[in-house]
Every structure is written in C-alpha cells, then in structure tokens.
Amino acid sequence: MNNVLPSPFVIAEAGKCIGCKACELACFAVHNDHNGVVAAVGTVTVPVIPRLHVVRTESFTLPVQCRQCENAPCAEACPVQAIRREEGTMVIHEESCIGCKGCAMACPFGAISLNKAFSNGKVVPQIQLKERQHNAMVRSAKVIAYKCDLCRTRDHKDGAMGNVPACVEVCPVGALSLVHPDTSVSRSRTAAAMRL
C-alpha cells in the first residue's frame, strides 16, 4: 500500500453534537458480530463497548475518536507490535494485545480504551492468570485495547448507505464526518486562493 496520501479519519463538530450517543451505540453494534449482536437491542448480551466516546462538559458534548495519526504514538508505544497500519487505518490486533495500556497512555486524544475482551457473548478468560472472586480462584478476564478502525471490517449488509463508518452514518444531526485530508486540504487551499 502506498502511504503517500494521509489517512482519512472521523471528526466531530462540537457545535452540532446533541449528545445522544447514537454514534457510540452504532459503533458497538457493527463491531460485535462475533458476540451475536444483530439488529435488535435484545440480541446484546455483552456490555456496550464503543470505540469512540461522547465527552460531556458544561458547555458542549462531543464524540472523541482516533485521528489515525500518521506517526501513530500508540503503535510506537506498543511493545508487541499489535497496532499496525492497514490500508490507511491504524488497527489493533486484539489477539496480540497484551493489555499493557501503553497505547492508551500515549494517545494524545484519549481515543483508546481498555476493556474486557468478549467472544460469543462471554468474557474471554486468561489462559493461566487467576484472581480471587468471592473466596474462589477464577480465571481473570482478558483485557484488550479498543479503538476506532473506521469500520474497516464492517459487513455492509446491515443497511449501510455508503462507504462511511457507522457513527457518521447514524448521527442524526450530521455532526460527524469522515475527513479525507488530501481533498479537504486542497479544497481549503483553493478557497484561500479565491480570497486572495
């Protein structure tokens, strides 16, 4: 893959966001085929773990998500090379992730969260590691890093209207957009030239 072109990324406009969390829910919905999540809320048997997060402050709400950094500090921080660029998207390979939190600490946007891993609607247990729960030793849950992958593995049978991530598609107020920096920048450049 020729990586001369900068990677696209999703970004939100604070002035538009109404804080409904539809983006978080959609993000979760399209990333959980392996947990049996289909169209209905009733098919959900695992906690909602989104890969973008609506931040609320006194004056605004805004979803925060990965910028798909060109010089990705998360990937630099990962000791096991579980974060790789794939077709312009920074992707965490969950099976390699050791849950060290390095990527989450390195990310200047707080776009990476660590949470339990789930498969087939159940927590994925550690192979050996155990912990005490209610006076019994049980296998600990595997913990992995989650981040936006621009819905690269999304099955477009779910009513997707275009080739945009689910969060962008469901936002009821158009606060989220998929930015292609090359076209965006050249548009700004043209606009600037017209003003000169």
Partner 1 sequence: MSYKDPIIHIDEQLCTGCRRCAAVCPVGAIIGEPGHPQTIDAHRCVVCGQCVQICTAYAADNESTTASRAVKLQERGQLPNVREPLFAAYSSGDIQKVKAVLADPKRFKVVQCAPAIRVSLAEEFGLPFGTLTPGKMAAALRRLKFDRIYDTNFAADVTIMEEGSELIGRVMSGERLPMFTSCCPAWVKYAETAAPELLEHLSSCKSPMQMAGALFKTYGAQLDGIAPSDIFSVAVMPCTCKKFECSREEMSVDGYREVDLVITTRELASLIKDQGIDFIHLPDEPFDSPLGKYSGAGSIFGATGGVMEAAIRTGYELITHEQIPNLQLDFVRGEEGIRTAEVQIGELELKVAVVAGLKYVDAVLAKVAEGTCPYHFIEVMACPEGCVSGGGQPKLLLETQRKMAYQARKSALYRHDSHQKVRKSHENPDIIKLYKDFLGEPLGHTSHHLLHTKFVDRSFKEEMS
- The residues of the shown chain that bind partner 1, judged by CB under 8 A, are 18-22, 24-26, 28-30, 36-48, 54, 56, 61, 158-161, 166, 169-170, 172
Beta bridge partners of 179: 9
Compare residues 79 and 162 and give the one whose CB is closer to partner 1. 162
Cα(180)–Cα(196) distance, rounded to whole angstroms?
25
Query: Residue 30 and residue 166: Cα distance in Å, rounded?
Result: 7
Minimum separation from the CB atom of position 166 to partner 1 (A): 7
- Closer CB to partner 1, 40 or 137, in the complex: 40
* Smallest gap from residue 99 Cβ to partner 1 (A): 17
Q: Shortest approach of partner 1 to residue 188 CB, angstroms?
A: 30
- CA gap 64, 104 in Å, rounded: 13
Concatenated DSSP letters for 120-158?
TTEEPEEEEEEEEETTEEEEEEPEEEE---TTTT--TTS
Q: Which CB atom, from 56 or from 189, has the smaller least distance to partner 1?
A: 56
> How far is the C-alpha of 111 from the C-alpha of 63, rounded, in Å?
10
Nearest residue (CB) to partner 1, 5 versus 38:
38
State the minimum distance, in angstroms, from the CB of residue 33 to partner 1: 10
Min dist CB 48 to partner 1, Å, is: 5
Tell me how far apart the alpha carbons of residues 26 and 35 are, in angstroms, rounded to a whole number.
15
Q: Please, are residues 114 and 158 in contact by the beta-carbon 8 Å criterion?
A: no
Q: Residue 81 Cβ, how far from partner 1 at the closest point, in Å?
A: 29
Cβ-based nearer residue to partner 1, 24 or 149: 24
Q: Which long-range contacts (CB under 8 A, 24 or more apart) does 79-86 make?
A: 82/145, 83/145, 85/1, 85/3, 85/7, 86/152
Q: Give the nearer residue to partner 1 in terms of CB position, either 4 or 41.
A: 41
Tokens 């909602």 -> residue: 48
